[in-house]
Chain A
Amino acid sequence: MPEEAALLPGTLDLLILKAVSLAPEHGYGVLLRIEQITGGALLVEQGALYPALARLEHQGLLDAEWGTSDNNRRAKYYRLTAAGRRRLKSETDRWSRLAVAMTRALSAQEV
């Protein structure tokens, strides 16, 4: 089994936002997309998605609407709000800065 990275708190929310930013999706679709964009490197217990989705909706970062799926079943679709889009951008920037700083720190030559 490939190395599975444990999910740091807050990263799930960010991944969901990213996944939904591409196009509106239902919960299962969000899961598939996260698997896709992280290359399967970050695994998450699937059920944990739903409290996270509910939380993001409550915070006004996602909008939810009931619709019909490809195979004509009733599903709840989530999409990014304007506030969500802003949060995605700011968190992404923060992560990049953090990653750069950590990489530099951790790759400094041992003295």
Chain B
Amino acid sequence: MRWAVIRSLIAGLLRRDRVELDLADEVEFHLDARVRDLMRRGLSPAEARRRARLEFGSVERYKEDVRRARGLRLSDELRSDLLYGWRSLRRAPGFTFIAALSLALGIGANTLVFSLLDSTLLRPLNLPDSDRLVAIWTVPAENPDQLGTSSIQRFVALRDRTQSFEAIGAFNGIACGVKTLGFDRDGVAAERILGQTVSPTMFQALGVEPLMGRAFTEAEDIVDQVSPVILLSHRSWVRRFESDAAIVGKTVTLDRVPTTVIGVLPSSFDFFGNDREFLAPLCLTRAQVDSRVGGNSIVGRLKRGVPIERARAEIETLAASLAMIDPARHAGLSFRMESLKRSQARLLDGIGQPSGDYATSLMTLQGAVGFVLLIACANVAGLLLARGTGRQHEIALRMTLGAGRARIIRQVLTESLPLTLLGASLAVLIAWLGLKLLVSTAPSGIPRLDQVSLDLRLLSFTAAVALLTSLIFAIVPALHVSRITSGASFGPSQRTTWSAQHQRVRSVLVSGQVALALVLLVGAGLMIHSFVRVLENELGADPRNLLTFDFRLPSRESFRAVGAYRGLGLFEVSPVPAQTVERVFDRLQNVPGVVAVAAVSSPPFVGPSVEMPIVIEGRPLPPTVTAGAPPNEQQTADYFAITPGFFKVMGIPVRRGRDFDSHDRADAAPVVIISETMSRQFFPNEDPVGQSMRFDFVPNERPRQIVGIVGDTLAGPLETSHRPAIYVPHVQQGATFVGPLVYLRIGMTFVLRTAGSPMSVLAEVKRAVAEVDRTTPVASPRTVEQTLDGHLERLRLSMWLLGVFGAVAALLAGTGIYGVIAYSVAQRTREFGLRMALGASASSVFTMVFRYATRIVVSGLGLGLAAAFLLSGVLQASLFQVTRTDPATYVSVAVLLMVIAALACLIPVRRATSVSPTVALRHD
């Protein structure tokens, strides 16, 4: 569009008077100049003026031509339409309020959900050239649908043997990512902080430059000689170190090792999240490098100009060649590459493996709010149609005077813009409040929630949605209204035909609303039903009044690598952690408010536990990994090391045999306790108590006797099946341990049953622990109920959001039904008056009206049920023990909507039947 055109349109809309003045000026200048010229030729002033006027022609006509040529006609019409729309809003405050509110709810909800969608999936990452960044996952051979993290070997292969990437980096949050920050100053307790270990190439891959200092070099990340250096996150630097300008080069104590701060990251760098306070070099021990275990997430930056397909092909070739060279380690290997932005929408489990996808939930929600908006639009359209009745005469007149159908349609659309503007402004307010509410409840299920804000992008989105909304809700009345042809009669019969027509359109709209509302309510209903099922899920333990915290000693001092076993690193564990745990255990018995103390190797309900291969004495050996058997064919059980009294603290029943007690010392006969499922699976026809088994994850394991059977517990509140579990007295564990989970061996998670609220004893507990060991902090203190709630956050959030949307949808649909019924009843007042005069009762009138309502609603129900049936598939992944066609939900929702329809009939019918028949008969 040309600049001149845009300029005159804007001038026409905003500075109309100025435009007129300018035009008058120009014409006047011309006439004056002509008069002067004519006077110069000898004419008198009066004569000159007359001549000049004559020569010019009709001033008004040419002015009008200029206005038309400059498109001012259009802007004049737009202006008058907008003003008319605004005035008619002010004249009908009731209508304006309802309509604006409906629009505000619809548009606001859309903006809110879009803000989440935008920050997670659409907004480019806060890194340079972020469209060249990719994430590379390993696809496990035994589970091709999943994505997994990679081992060091695979990372090194990707780093060194590919050409398509400018840089490939790896990061790992578990191995050495958790450290204890100790201060040398007295009185300041040690604290556990989280960081991220990264390869030196990561800086180049992500494109991040330190704000101060420098990044690590390759020389600082050599196997078994990783230098104790870190970079601080900007947030940590500001908060913990008070923005010390001389921080670079200073030393802090991490895990009792003096560590040098070599740099600070810029405040714009938030790739690893706000809770990661430092970056350290990858923890490269010989054992780690040789092991099969993953845990490293890989990021790559494509070289400029390299298409993503070429890089993809290259890494696939690499995978194939690795599988060929070293089948024992890499058989069936394949890699999957996706844009880094996409990978950020995945939910990660404790070790960084993708375990869920946030993207589909968001899209589903966006679809749901889209429905709400459509329902709101239908409401407003219906209201506009009703109001349109009063304007038939005006419209007919306009058309008679020459307005074309297009002009009328344009008029109606423009008149609805002020309403949309009002609704959109309210919508921004609603979205802002909604965001504030969401952020304050801070569900952990939404990544980077704190970065979401109502900025220009979102406001543009709101504006775009508002305009689209305006078009949608105004188009129906516009088309309908403009169907009046000129020459229409103005009598009452014509009006009833008109009313009947628009009544039909409104009924169709209402049916649509009911259908949409049904879909949303079914979605909400399914989620609510799931949630109820989750709450009914038997955990097998009593989670109330349990305080839990992690207590682990620094890794470096607590174990050392002594080789490998079955492809995983083997470590010798120092006796210090176990002794410290015992001392803390004893000390905690005396803390007031603590009823019982226990400790366990893996925190309860945090998810799938540690699976360890076992061997039952007296039976043939099961397949092992070195014999080539894939991990899921091994004979394993979930491994827990516990203190005596653990079952009592957790409320887990002992079914047979006994619990551990103080006699089960390190030098006594080794014993174990198994769970019911393990008893069923491994000893289906015999009594396990008295039999022996051996662990097979370290060499030279001695046989242990089974002395008891306990009840099953679920690994988490969303699990449905029980897994075999085996419990060992923690002091009876061997001196060696295997694999990357060795950190479980160097401390334990304490579980304390408290008399009152668990958190109220926390301060005392911290003091007590500090008495035993000042340098190891009480880490992640929480109640077990909080842990459980954490799992349910996503479900709860979805349920709440869908529930709110469903309720809003039902409300809007209800008002839509009410509107149609009320209008219809008002139209039929004469008829009802007549019937009642002839003896009909109020309830029979109600039945007639209800029948009419049912006709409208039932078609909507049918459509909605079909749509819900089709669309419920998107929720399947989030449902718990509820099928997507759960009849109970569908039926209850349908019944609910019928009840709403019945309620919507009540008021109009009461009004109609309470009027005396004579008045009604005279009503026109």
Whole-angstrom distance from the CB of A95 to the nearest CB of chain B?
A: 23
The reply to whether B56 and A46 form a contact with Cβ atoms under 8 Å apart is yes
Interface 9-mer from A2-10, A52-60, A86-94 = A52-60
Closest-CB distance, B502 to chain A (whole angstroms) = 41
Question: CA–CA, A73 to B35, complex, Å?
Answer: 15
Cβ-neighbour of A47 out of B4, B32, B62 (below 8 A): B62
Structural contact, B25 and A27, CB atoms closer than 8 A: no
Residue A85 is within 8 A (CB to CB) of chain B in the complex? no
Give CA–CA (A45, B58) in the complex, Å. Answer: 9
Which residue of A27, A45, A59, A74 is within 8 Å of B30 (Cβ)?
A27
User: Is there an interface contact between B30 and A54, defined as CB atoms closer than 8 Å?
Assistant: no
Q: Give chain A nearest CB distance to B796 CB in angstroms.
A: 59
Q: How far is the CB of B432 from chain A (nearest CB, A)?
A: 42
Whether the Cβ atoms of B69 and A26 lie closer than 8 Å is no
B848 CB-CB contact with A under 8 Å: no
Query: Bound complex: CA of A54 vs CA of B34, how far in Å?
Result: 20
Q: Is the CB of A46 within 8 A of B59?
A: no
Tell whether, in the assembled complex, residue A45 and residue B56 are in contact, meaning their CB atoms are under 8 Å apart: yes
B2: chain A residues within 8 A (beta carbon):
58-60
**Are B26 and A50 touching (Cβ within 8 A)?**
yes
Inter-chain CA distance A92–B469, complex, in Å, is 50
Contact of B57 with A76 in the complex, beta carbons under 8 Å: no
Interface: A14 (CB within 8 A): no
Dominant SS among interface residues on chain B: helix
Identify which of residues 54-83 in chain A touch chain B, using a CB-to-CB cut-off of 8 Å. 54-55, 57-60, 66, 69, 73-76
Verify if B66 is at the interface (C-beta below 8 Å from A): yes
Q: Does B70 contact A (CB under 8 A)?
A: yes
Q: Are A51 and B57 in contact, CB atoms less than 8 angstroms apart?
A: no
Verify if B5 is at the interface (C-beta below 8 Å from A): yes
Contact B69 A54 (CB under 8 A): yes
Residues on B with beta carbons closer than 8 Å to the beta carbon of A46: 30, 34, 55-57
CB distance from B425 to the nearest CB of A (A): 34
Kindly report which residue of chain A lies nearest to residue B61, judged by CB atoms: A47
Distance in angstroms between the alpha carbons of A45 and B69 in the assembled complex = 17
Q: Which residues of B contact A54 (CB under 8 A)?
A: 65-66, 69-70
For A59, give the chain B residue with the smallest CB separation: B2
**With A55-B69, A58-B4, A58-B8 given, is the CB distance from A48 to B57 under 8 Å?**
yes
Which residues of chain A have C-beta atoms less than 8 A from B33's C-beta? 28
Give A24 to B355 CA distance when docked, in angstroms: 72
The smallest C-beta distance from B55 to any residue of chain A, in angstroms, reads 5
Which residues of B lie under 8 Å from residue A73 when comparing CB positions?
Answer: 29, 32
Total residues of chain A contacting the partner, CB 8 A: 23
Q: Is B862 an interface residue (CB 8 A)?
A: no
Residue of B nearest to A26 (CB): B29
Chain B residues in 8 Å Cβ range of A26: 26, 29
Tell me, rounded to whole Å, the shortest Cβ–Cβ distance linking A69 to chain B: 7
B4, A57: Cβ atoms closer than 8 Å: yes
Partner of B59, one of A47, A55, A60, A69: A47
For B25, the chain A residues whose CB sits under 8 A away are 74, 76
Report the contact-size class of chain B (Cβ under 8 Å from the partner).
20 to 34
Which residues of B848-876 are within 8 A (CB) of A? none
Is B567's CB within 8 Å of the partner chain A? no
Q: Is the interface of A mostly helix, strand, loop or mixed?
A: helix
**Complex interface: chain A residues within 8 A of B27 (CB):** 47, 50
- In the complex, the answer to whether A50 meets B66 with C-beta atoms within 8 Å is yes
Give the residues in chain B near A74, CB-CB below 8 Å: 25, 29
Q: Within the assembled complex, what's the spacing in Å between the Cα atoms of A73 and B366?
A: 61
The CA-CA distance from A28 to B27 in the complex, in Å, is 9
Encoded as 1 (CB less than 8 Å from any A CB) or 0, chain B from 1 to 42 comes to 011110010000000000000100111011011100000000
Q: Interface code A2-42, partner B: CB below 8 Å = 1, 0 otherwise?
A: 00000000000000000000000011100100000000000
Q: Are B65 and A58 in contact (CB under 8 A)?
A: no
Q: Which residue of A lies closest to B23 (CB)?
A: A50
Question: Cβ of A27: which chain B residues have Cβ within 8 Å of it?
Answer: 26, 29-30
Q: Which residues of A contact B70 (CB under 8 A)?
A: 54, 57-58
Please indicate which of the listed interface residues A26, A28, A54, A75 has the most CB atoms of chain B within 10 Å of its own CB.
A54
B651 within 8 Å of A (CB atoms): no
Contact A47 B56 (CB under 8 A): yes
Q: Cβ of B26 and Cβ of A75 under 8 Å apart?
A: yes
CB-based nearest A residue for B2: A60
Question: Would you call B71 an interface residue if the criterion is a C-beta within 8 Å of the partner chain's C-beta atoms?
Answer: yes
Contacts of A28 in B (CB 8 A): 29-30, 33-34
- Closest residue of chain A to B63, judged by CB? A50
Beta-carbon contact of A45 and B57 below 8 Å: yes
B8 engages A50 (CB within 8 Å): no
Residue numbers in A under 8 Å from B30 (CB-CB): 27-28, 31, 46, 50
Contact call A50/B62, Cβ cutoff below 8 A: yes
Most buried by A among B4, B66, B71: B4
For the complex, give the distance between the alpha carbons of A50 and B59 in Å.
10
Contact of A48 among B32, B62, B68 (CB under 8 A): B62
Q: State A55–B62 Cα separation when bound (angstroms).
A: 12
Q: Which residues of chain A come closer than 8 Å to B68, judged between CB atoms?
A: 51
**Which residues in B have their C-beta under 8 angstroms from that of A45?**
55-57
A54 vs B72: C-alpha distance when bound (angstroms): 11
Scan residues 104-148 of chain B and give those whose CB is less than 8 A from a CB of chain A: none
Contacts of A59 in B (CB 8 A): 2
**A76-B22 Cα distance, complex, nearest whole Å:** 9
The CA of A59 and the CA of B61, in the complex, are separated in Å by 21
Alpha-carbon distance between A27 and B23 when the two chains are bound, in angstroms = 12
Whether the Cβ atoms of B65 and A51 lie closer than 8 Å is yes
Bound: A52/B65 CA distance, A: 9
A58 x B71 contact (CB < 8 A): yes
Q: CB within 8 A of B65: which of A50, A60, A66, A69? A: A50
Cα distance A50–B70 when bound, in Å? 11
A26 to B: closest C-beta gap in Å = 7
* Complex Cα–Cα for A45 and B54 (A): 9
Beyond A28-B34, A54-B69, whether A47 also contacts B57 by CB under 8 A is yes
Residues of chain A lying within 8 A (CB to CB) of residue B55: 45-46
Chain A neighbourhood of B29, CB < 8 A: 26-28, 69, 73-76
Question: Which residues of chain A are within 8 angstroms of B71 by Cβ–Cβ distance?
Answer: 58
- 8 smallest CB-CB distances across A and B, nearest first, come from A47-B62, A51-B65, A47-B57, A54-B69, A45-B57, A28-B33, A55-B69, A46-B56
A-side residues, CB < 8 A to B, are 26-28, 31, 45-48, 50-52, 54-55, 57-60, 66, 69, 73-76
Beyond known contacts A50-B27, A55-B69: 10 more, CB 8 A cutoff: A27-B29, A27-B30, A28-B34, A46-B30, A46-B56, A46-B57, A54-B66, A58-B8, A58-B70, A66-B22
Q: Give the A-binding residues of B (Cβ under 8 A).
A: 2-5, 8, 22, 25-27, 29-30, 32-34, 55-59, 61-63, 65-66, 68-71
Pairs across A and B, CB under 8 Å, 28 listed: A28-B34, A31-B30, A45-B57, A46-B30, A46-B56, A47-B61, A48-B57, A48-B62, A50-B26, A50-B63, A50-B65, A51-B62, A51-B65, A52-B69, A54-B65, A54-B66, A55-B69, A57-B70, A58-B8, A58-B70, A58-B71, A59-B2, A60-B2, A66-B22, A69-B29, A76-B22, A76-B25, A76-B29
